[in-house]
Amino acid sequence: MSADHEAHPLFLPAVFVGGLIFGFGLGFSRMAQPEVVLSFLQFVDFGLLFVMFGAAIVTGLTFFLAPRLLEGAVLTGDPLGRRLKSFDRNVLYGGTIFGVGWGLSGICPGAAYASLGIGNLPILWGIAGMFVGAYLQGVVRSTRVTEPPGIVGASED
């Protein structure tokens, strides 16, 4: 978070309200219940497919329309645009770990916090695991600071 974002008095309240809306949506759609997500991943219940399609449509429309209708970001005035990042080892490993964790536990980080809101206290074990994993990733990454990330599929000539 840059100093520009911190300077605007509505930035943190907007993030808080956005988080509340996101958490409510996860709880309302039942994506905060690991057993529902696992039944979706096991091809038993396809109800979450509609939730994901709905989210993809809203996101797609927002990414398409916002740059055309707005001069810049509402709170900061920063220009709207895509930040492209290369597909490197870190993206591949991180995505794989995220997917395996989601498949085993039936919950992703955002939904884990929403799951607390619906009274699922055993999810605290999963959240603790996320914190441990994030800490270990930071430790490993700090020891490899000098090594530039490699592009997957690039030859090392």
Nearest Cα residue to 40 out of 101, 100, 107: 107
pLDDT of residue 48: 86
**Contact residues for 16 (Cβ-Cβ < 8 A; gap 6+):** none
pLDDT of residue 78: 82
Q: Is the pLDDT of residue 122 over 50?
A: yes
Which sign, positive or negative, has the C-alpha torsion 31, 35, 38, 40? Answer: negative
Q: Is the pLDDT of residue 107 over 90?
A: no
How far is the C-alpha of 95 from the C-alpha of 82, rounded, in Å?
20
Mean pLDDT (the chain) is 82
pLDDT of residue 149: 54
Q: What is the pLDDT of residues 26-64, one digit of tens each?
A: 888 888 888 888 898 889 988 888 988 998 999 999 989
Q: What is the pLDDT of residues 55-101, one digit of tens each?
A: 899 999 998 998 889 888 888 888 887 778 788 888 888 889 888 88
Residue 157 DSSP SS3:
coil
Residue 151 DSSP SS3:
strand
How far is the C-alpha of 70 from the C-alpha of 40, rounded, in Å?
37
How far is the C-alpha of 103 from the C-alpha of 139, rounded, in Å?
25
